[in-house]
Amino acid sequence: MKFAKDKNFFHGYLIQKPIIKIGLGVNLSEIRVSASSGMKIYEVSKNYKLLSDYKDEIIIKGHKEKLTEKYVVQVYSTDDRTEAETIAHELKQKIHDKVYIADAADQKIEGVFQVRVGDFITRGDALKGITRLTQVGFKDNWIIREEITDLESKPLWILVNDRIQSLNPDTVLYIIPDSPLSYLSYKGRDYRGLFILHASVKGVVLVNVLNLEDYLKSVVPSEFSPYEFRTIEAHKAQAVAARTYAIKNLNKYEELGYDLCDTPASQFYKGMNAEHPLSTKAVELTQGEVATYKGKLIDALYTSTCGGMTENVENVFQGPALAYLRSTECTYEKQKKWTIQAQNSMIPIHLRGKNISSHVISLVSLGIIPKYLDPVIYGKEVSVEETIASLEKVRELLGLEKKEIEPEINAVDYPSLARLIIDILGWDSRIQNLMLNSEVDFLISGFSKDLSLKENEKNALAYLIQAEIFPLAVEIDDLGKKLTWGDLVLCLWGIVNTSPDLVQTGSFKSLDEHTIEVEEEEKSLILAPDFFLAKNHEGDSAFVSQLTLLGGEDIRWLERNGEIRMLEVMYPVLTNTLDRNSFYHSWQSRISSEDLQRRINRYYPIGKLIDVKPIKRGASKRVIEMDIIGQEGQVTVKGLRIRRVLGLKETLFVIDREYNEEGGIAHFIFTGRGWGHGVGLCQVGAYGMAQSGADYREILRKYYQNIKIAKIY
């Protein structure tokens, strides 16, 4: 984290310590960099040379080293170097392939030593190598793809000031904004700090050098959405975790000239474009704070959704057991509860097998239709006067100009309703100018040919069908039938729903008597004395008199005269776990035996797949050891590797099997919970804790046991 020797060179362009270097790309053949208000480009070899001043864009090409694939086979993994050396020595006595020990640089955890065999030019050669290893008693094998470098490379050149200039292969370029307020751009993303471009053993590398706190302002929202999760304390916990991880892993890619990469292999970093005021505030409020255990920085692992319980680190990453990364239930003993009660309720109303209760209540709440509690009424014919009165209410709601009409109809059918809608709402120009003749013919082709419809009636019907206000022609059994209140409700809601600001959405935060707090901008909503309350579970909506909320539930509401008239709660999974609001709290994946077989054979030469069987589970019930059985072999897969081989969201799952007529397995059905590796901080769980009043320190101490929060700068 030093940058002192470069301060004078940058002519006043300083980056405040601590500094971090982020790799934006390796083995690049073309780099286009632009600047918001100009940049300087320096060539650094034996001497410094200014190539360009006040340039808006540069193109750099070349020095892309020819790379081809190679494969190695991982045979053994341990946190004991001596044990790894013993295994490697034993293996060298039994095979003729190259055997070596590698640190687990691709892991997010340190202290793991891997015994590997290779190189193999193709994946097929690696699979044959696995067969040989199995024959000598080594069965827990894993193929890893790597890149190899052809040392011959093309010359490096730069297009600057419309001239191509050749550069030495060992040249380093510094690309510096003209002012501290300016920024650089690469591949559509904007970046703070400056760029360094240089050659490496893996080709040309582009590095973003910037202040670590500025780096975190992008990482925190990239890893943890401030749009979906809007509590400051959860983002502060994420900021401390991300800062701890970054500082602990400085120089992880030292051989390539940077600290961390910009992908989730390190931490997701998308430059300034990802920054958000909430995340930035969280970073600033925790500046310099890190998580430590016994005076040392922790491995601050975090996962999206833990599925209700996190796992012991050694069961997932196959490394050493760490006292602060232990399995913990994703619940909160201080969980708050709120009970919402409504005086109004309504029996479910159905029309042709469809539940239209929510549409009815919405229109009643907005004052568009009268409140009829008897469901039978919605199956009765609606009068012309009732239809016109309701359409006038819609016109007023939408703020449209009043039109004087003199309808010459005695009953309401779809053609007459279409004329009323067009006349009362003043939509004549829509049907005259927004419909093609071919569209009209296509949309009403399902109606009987002997209907005597005028041209404007055809256009009106077609437009209202296309706008999803009227049902499709195939759903209307008789175009001339008299419409019921239920038919009118569906059409009225189709019109009302065209107003984008009518139905408002948010996330429930708390309740104080008759006032609801929502996450969005600390907004308060007043419940009307006679409001309707609806519970929506997996798309099925029902009106209820009471609901218990824990916080974080998605809600929708309709307002009139500053009061909520209808409140609908998207009810999550029935559980008290903190990650209950995650889309990935529960999931299911159905995979054919053939597809799973192809995937597994990319890693292990098992031939025809017979079965997959969990044989050991961890503290959280995650599968931490699994047997994969094939006709040509059987392998045992452990830890996080299970998720990669099977292609699942998590390792917390159970398996059901569908069998074909021959008695073989046709499909594997994986039913599981969670998304990610399941170790450390549960991000959605942190959000749940914050909603119940926990601060970031309490959140961090729950998921990282017995840690301390230290301020190191």
Summarize pLDDT for 702-713 with one digit per residue, the tens.
999 999 999 999
| pLDDT score for 62 | 59
DSSP 158: E
Asked if pLDDT for residue 421 goes beyond 80, the answer is yes
* CATH dotted code for 65-153: 3.30.70.1070
Q: How confident is the model at residue 448 (pLDDT cuts 50, 70, 90)?
A: low
pLDDT at 1 exceeding the cut of 80: no
How distant is the alpha carbon of residue 464 from its chain centre? 36
- Domain extents in the chain: 4-64+154-287, 65-153, 297-334+678-711, 338-345+502-570, 367-496, 587-672
d(CA 683, CA 305): 6
Q: Classify 397 as helix, strand or coil.
A: helix
Q: How far apart are CA 503 and CA 523, in angstroms?
A: 15
143-154 pLDDT tens trace: 988 765 444 334
Listed residue (622, 616, 609) closest to 648, CA to CA: 622
- Give the mean model confidence (pLDDT) for residues 535-539: 80
Residue 358: which pLDDT band, with cuts at 50, 70 and 90? confident
The tokens for 144 are 């890893």
The model's confidence at residue 590, banded by pLDDT at 50, 70 and 90, is: very high
Q: What is the pLDDT of residue 473?
A: 64
Which pLDDT value is given to residue 151?
A: 40
Check pLDDT > 90 for residue 446: no
* Helix (H) / strand (E) containing 328: none
- Nearest CA to 561 out of 343, 362, 366 is that of 366
User: Which contiguous run of DSSP H or E holds residue 317?
Assistant: helix 313-317
CA distance 467 to 258: 54
Please give the single-letter amino acid code of residue 529. P
pLDDT band (50, 70, 90) for residue 5: very low
Residue type at 645?
V
Q: What is the pLDDT of residue 196?
A: 92
pLDDT score at 471: 85
Decide if pLDDT at 523 tops 90.
no
The pLDDT of 108-120, averaged and rounded, is 80
- By percentage, how much of the chain surpasses pLDDT 90? 50
pLDDT of residue 690: 93
Which of 208, 169, 167, 166 lies closest to 189, judged by CA? 208
What radius of gyration do the chain's Cα atoms show? 32
pLDDT band at 682 (very low <50, low <70, confident <90, very high): very high
- CB of 147 within 8 A of CB of 69? yes
The predicted structure's pLDDT at residue 68: 53
pLDDT over 60 (residue 39): yes
Q: What are phi and psi of 90, to 5 degrees?
A: -60, -40
The larger pLDDT score, comparing residue 218 to residue 525, is at 218
Measured CA to CA, the distance from residue 456 to residue 460 in angstroms comes to 6
Determine which of 237-251, 273-287, 462-476, 621-635 has the lowest per-residue pLDDT on average.
Answer: 462-476
Helices of type H across 374-436: 384-398, 414-425, 428-433
Q: What is the pLDDT of residue 451?
A: 58
CB 558 within 8 A of CB 532: no
Predicted confidence at residue 3, as pLDDT, reads 34
Give the Cα separation of 91 and 132 in Å (integer): 11
Amino acid of residue 114: Q
pLDDT tens-digit readout, 551-567: 888 899 998 888 999 99
CB 380 within 8 A of CB 566: no
* Residue that wins the pLDDT comparison between 448 and 528: 528
CATH of domain 338-345+502-570: 2.40.50
Q: How confident is the model at residue 51 (pLDDT cuts 50, 70, 90)?
A: confident
**Burial (CB count <10 Å: 0-12, 13-18, 19+), residue 544:** middle
662 CB burial (10 A radius; 0-12, 13-18, 19+): exposed
pLDDT at 292: 97
Q: What is the pLDDT of residues 79-101, one digit of tens each?
A: 888 888 999 999 988 888 888 88
Q: Do domains 65-153 and 338-345+502-570 have the same CATH topology?
A: no
Confidence (pLDDT) at 165: 64
CA separation for the pair 78, 113 (Å, rounded)? 5
CA atoms within 13 A on the CB side of 267: 35
Check: CB of residue 360 under 8 Å from CB of residue 369: yes
| Side chain identity at residue 199, one-letter code | A
| Predicted pLDDT of residue 599 | 96
pLDDT(185) > 90: yes
Tell me, what's the pLDDT at 319?
A: 87
Name the average pLDDT for the chain: 87
Tokens of 180: 């501290």
CA 58/CA 72 separation, integer angstroms: 39
Q: Give, in degrees to the nearest 5, the angle at Cα 222 between 504 and 246.
A: 150
Q: Which residue has the tokens 């840690």?
A: 707
Bridge partners, 686 (sequence order): none
C-beta of residue 134 within 8 angstroms of C-beta of residue 141: yes
Q: Are strands 524-537 and 563-570 parallel, antiparallel or unpaired?
A: parallel
Name the band, by pLDDT with cuts 50, 70 and 90, for residue 164.
low
- Condensed to tens digits (0 to 9), the pLDDT of residues 638-671 reads 999 999 999 999 999 999 999 999 999 999 999 9
Q: Which residues pair with 25 in a beta bridge?
A: 206
pLDDT for position 339: 93
Peptide bond into 180 cis (omega under 30): no
pLDDT of residue 573: 74
Looking at the predicted structure, is the pLDDT value of residue 36 above 60? yes
Residue 687, CA distances (Å) to 305, 690, 708 in order: 11, 5, 20
Q: Give residue 53's identity as a one-letter amino acid code.
A: D
Say if residue 104's pLDDT is above 80: no
